[in-house]
Amino acid sequence: MTCPQPTLRLAPITSGLVQRNPRILLGGSHQPTLLRYLEGWPKRWDRPRNFLIQFVRDGESLARFARDSFDMAVIQAPSAEELPAVVGELVRVARQGLITLR
């Protein structure tokens, strides 16, 4: 007796963003620089979209945000001691993420 193979569907992360404006989290002390990282993201949209941006201060906890609250997060690189906790929270709250150098 053989078990049927599970169905696996691979889709780009941005496929769910087509019907709404993406929520963006920017974390760090110099937000104008962080905004530049969003230029051209994503490139497959058929029409203009408005970003719904929320800012957090450098070192501020992301624990208050629910799972998958954001479509994209851009944060400045934390210290080596904070890195595991920050990456864990970033993966929890955002579908895509980018950690930039200070």
| pTM of the shown model | 0.69
Q: Is residue 26 part of a domain?
A: yes
* Tens digit of each residue's pLDDT, the chain (102 residues): 555 554 444 444 445 544 578 898 988 877 777 777 777 666 666 777 788 889 998 878 888 999 989 988 888 888 889 888 888 898 899 888 777 775
The CATH number linked to 89 is 3.40.50
Q: Is residue 88 part of a domain?
A: yes
Q: How many domains does the chain have?
A: 1
Question: Which structural domain, as residue segments, surrounds residue 53?
Answer: 20-100
**Nearest-CA neighbor of 95 among 7, 9, 6, 11?**
11
Q: Is residue 52 part of a domain?
A: yes
CA distance 74 to 27: 6
